[in-house]
Chains A and B, each alone.
Chain A
Amino acid sequence: MEKRIYPAPPQQVYLFGTCLIDLFVPEAGMDALRLLEQAGVAVDFPMGQSCCGQPAYTSGNEASARTVAAAQMALFQEDWPIVVPSGSCAGMMRHHWPKLFAADPVLGPRAKVLAERTFELTEFLVEVLKVDFAALHAQSTVAPPPIKVALHTSCSARREMGTRSHGLALLRALPGVELVEQKNEAECCGFGGVFSLKHPDISGAMVADKTAAIEASGCDQLVSADAGCLCNIGHAAEHQGRALKVEHLASFVARRLRGEAQS
């Protein structure tokens, strides 16, 4: 993976909330906003945003993906970084938008520019803003009780965006948070967007192994910076009757900083 050179902290950023967070985990989007604001950055959430186009792109519907992606590209007129609380959607915008528009003389160069300005949330907090979470935590009046968490890193966050280290760095900076590692931690949870609908049996077998491994890790809860994995793992655990709590990393960190034990 190419080593990314990070810019100096900006005054203002765009927040791209992603379609899954928008409808299913909206609180994670608000917590991403709070973390950015807490770090002293003004946040603009363009109200015209919807989805990066990935569902259509990965299922082989390029034209649909292009139409939806182009509608998002028009929203980011200012020269601000685009922060995305999802490794998967950030990966789509950073690595696949330029390919999707490679043959387009206008949108092709534009996609390249936007790709350069796209950051996954934890990557942005750690590498660009260099937020001192331990210091922020110290300001909090209440210390939340110690907790054991397992981190699930989405495949795109791990392999496309290289942001597993940032998620780990965030969690390690928080006092009272003990990280435990589940078996086969690097293996896919089986979500894969339309894969979970086209090949439910295989996807189901993968997520069953994942929930079992997470439970066996002895964690109090699971965190992940990707809503797709969270929905997959959380709803599978619920279906299996496991008492496994899952939470977006942004919400977990924001909650610990507020000194709250439970969401």
Chain B
Amino acid sequence: MSTQTTTQPLQFHPSADFKNRSREALADTKLRQNFRGAMDFLRGKRSAQFPDENELENLRDLGEAVRKHALRNLPQLLEKLETQLTANGVQVHWAETAEEANAIIHGIAVGRGAKSVIKGKSMASEEIELNDYLGERGITCVESDMGEYVVQLAHEKPSHIVMPAIHKTKGDIAELFHEEIPDTPYTEDVDELIQIGRKTLRQMFVDADIGLSGVNFAIAETGTLWLVENEGNGRLSTTIPNTHIAIMGIEKVVEKLEQVIPLASLLTRSATGQAITTYFNLISGPRRPGELDGPREVHLVLLDNGRSQAFEDAELRATLQCIRCGACMNHCPVYARLGGHAYGTVYPGPIGQIISPHLLGLDDTRDLPTASSLCGACAEVCPVRIPIPQLLIRLRTEAQRNPGEAVAHRLKGQGASYSLGEQLVWKFWTGAYAHPSLHRIFRWLATRLRAFAPKQQMGWTRFRTPLQPAERSLHDLMAERKGNRL
């Protein structure tokens, strides 16, 4: 592993040290080049998929409507999903917390005497830190998605929700494989690198006791788990081992099969700029009598882990519309400069900034809602029209709120950024700007005392020359004009 790429400490939540990590990330020129190049590439790929703006906007309307409909009926749809899955022979488990989800999966593994788990890509499993949990209890997890495999081999965390190893160059991976996989010659040939990974993983699919996967969409009406992937590892993980465990956030349910069509189209085109992925897996239960392959048993773990908090609030509920395409991070000017690790949360970028406060609480994520210029690039590309800047403002409001204030929907960590000093500044500002007579005095002072404008203006002057009021304000100029006319 290249030493230059590991400047960011990989401590995931709390994200309290966001500012230091972002400063380090900004100073890492190689990392910044990697991300800038990758993000420009992904933006181009996405935009090539949507040449017709009307088609895109209509599809986004449809995607938003499907997700909003599902969330409006979430409790009923989850019950329906459980009923249908159970009828299909899938065992359904409910986990309120990450700890519960881990314990459920561990319990299943222990019950089967399992020693090893092969994993398809799953951000929910990253969220609960399943690999560590099982690892500490003597069960090995191996990531089989190539990006996840690279990240695991490097003892890192994903830096992107769709492309976990996007922070690495082929040179980094060549070095990593050469050092970590026995008898591997150094090569920067991408096809060769993929073959090396593939060969190493192949036997692990056969040897694993359990296959674990994520879920892109769960269809309530048919009891189907829809899994999108490009490498075939998802299909292998969910069909070769005798036991398949799927894990998903409770928000991923959709009512009808046909409602997934627009979502799937939006997902692959927005995420990787593909019209369709290589594999669409529709999983409807374990091997049936007479069938020659497939797992003997299938489990689904439904994970809440703070999502209910977003669900309960009419405005914040839109957070759960997300289909995890990653387009918001690909188009974010902040993410493009920091990369994913600086955020310190499993989900980085704009979606991470709006979902993490629910998963972890505002105390541990207080710097995330403010780490945005509210430029709106994320909302502009979001395939299901999540008003991300609006939700960031709302989270800022909840973080600024007096911790003691009683509100209809109290968020975990309300008032995490509440500061008497800042409140005083806003009180002064409100007084000066809401009262014309006070504002006149304020303007007079600001313009007449302009020579005394501070040379150090907090963070502003680190990168800019100081702001200095004009000699005369627009009010002065306007008053003079009126005077001239009289």
Shortest C-beta distance, A18 to chain B (Å), equals: 9
Residues in A with CB closer than 8 Å to B466 are: 235
Chain A nearest CB from B440 CB (Å) reads 9
Residue B372 at the A interface, CB < 8 A?
yes
Interface size on B, residues (CB 8 A): 64
In whole Å, how far is A76's beta carbon from the nearest beta carbon of chain B? Answer: 14
Residues from chain A with Cβ under 8 Å of B477 in the complex: 26-27, 29-30
Q: Are A60 and B400 CB-contacts (below 8 A) given A197-B459, A202-B334?
A: yes
Q: Does A35 contact B (CB under 8 A)?
A: no
Which residue in chain B gives the minimum CB-CB distance to A45? B478
Main secondary structure of the interface of B (DSSP, over half): helix
CA distance A61 to B333 in the complex (A): 25
Q: Is B463 an interface residue (CB 8 A)?
A: yes
Give the bracket for the number of chain A residues in contact with chain B: 35 or more
Task: Say how far A26's CB is from chain B's closest CB, in angstroms.
Answer: 4
Partner of A56, one of B373, B399, B401, B429: B429
Contact B426 A56 (CB under 8 A): yes
Interface string of A188-228 (1 = CB under 8 A from B): 10111111111111111111110000000000000000000
0 or 1 for each of B258-297: is its CB under 8 Å from A? (1 = yes): 0000000000000000000000000000000000000000
Contact residues, A36-91 vs B (CB, 8 A)? 45, 47-48, 50-51, 53, 55-62, 64, 67-68, 70-71
- Quick check: A68 and B333 within 8 Å, CB to CB? no
B372 contacts which chain A residues (CB < 8 A)? Answer: 192, 195
Q: Is the CB of B467 within 8 A of A235?
A: yes
CB distance from A9 to the nearest CB of B (A): 23
Asked if A58 and B459 sit within 8 Å, CB to CB, the answer is no
A-side contacts of B462, CB under 8 Å: 200-201, 204
Q: Chain A residue with minimal CB distance to B390?
A: A99
Q: How far is the CB of B232 from chain A (nearest CB, A)?
A: 36
A27 CA / B372 CA spacing, docked (Å): 30
A48-B436, A202-B371 are contacts. A208–B463 as well, Cβ < 8 Å? yes
Task: Tell me the residues in window 430-486 of chain B with beta carbons closer than 8 Å to chain A beta carbons.
Answer: 430, 432-436, 439, 443, 446-447, 458-470, 472-479, 481
Contact partner, A22, options B373, B376, B435, B475, Cβ 8 Å: B475
Q: Are B467 and A191 in contact (CB under 8 A)?
A: no
Closest to B430 in A: A64
C-alpha spacing A19/B26, complex, angstroms: 32
The residues of A that contact B417 with a CB separation of less than 8 Å are 60
Option from A27, A47, A61, A200 in Cβ contact (under 8 Å) with B459: A200
In chain A between 171 and 199, which residues have their CB closer than 8 angstroms to a CB of chain B? Answer: 186-188, 190-199
Specify which of B334, B380, B398, B459 is in contact with A159 (CB 8 Å cutoff).
Answer: B380
Contact of A199 among B371, B429, B473, B475 (CB under 8 A): B371
Residues of A within 8 A of B370 (CB): 59, 194-195, 198-199
Which residue from chain A places its CB closest to the CB of B395 in the assembled complex? Answer: A60
Given A159-B380, A190-B333, A198-B459, A68 contacting B433 (CB threshold 8 A): yes
| Further 16 A-B residue pairs, CB within 8 A, beyond A60-B396, A201-B26 | A22-B443, A23-B443, A30-B481, A33-B481, A45-B478, A62-B397, A160-B376, A188-B373, A188-B375, A193-B373, A195-B371, A199-B367, A202-B22, A205-B337, A206-B333, A238-B464
Q: 26 interchain pairs (CB within 8 A)?
A: A21-B474, A26-B472, A26-B474, A45-B478, A58-B396, A59-B370, A59-B400, A60-B398, A60-B417, A61-B400, A62-B397, A67-B434, A71-B434, A71-B435, A188-B375, A192-B373, A195-B373, A200-B460, A201-B19, A201-B23, A204-B459, A205-B337, A206-B334, A207-B464, A236-B463, A239-B464
The 8 closest A-B pairs by CB, nearest first: A200-B459, A192-B373, A60-B396, A204-B463, A188-B375, A235-B464, A155-B375, A29-B474
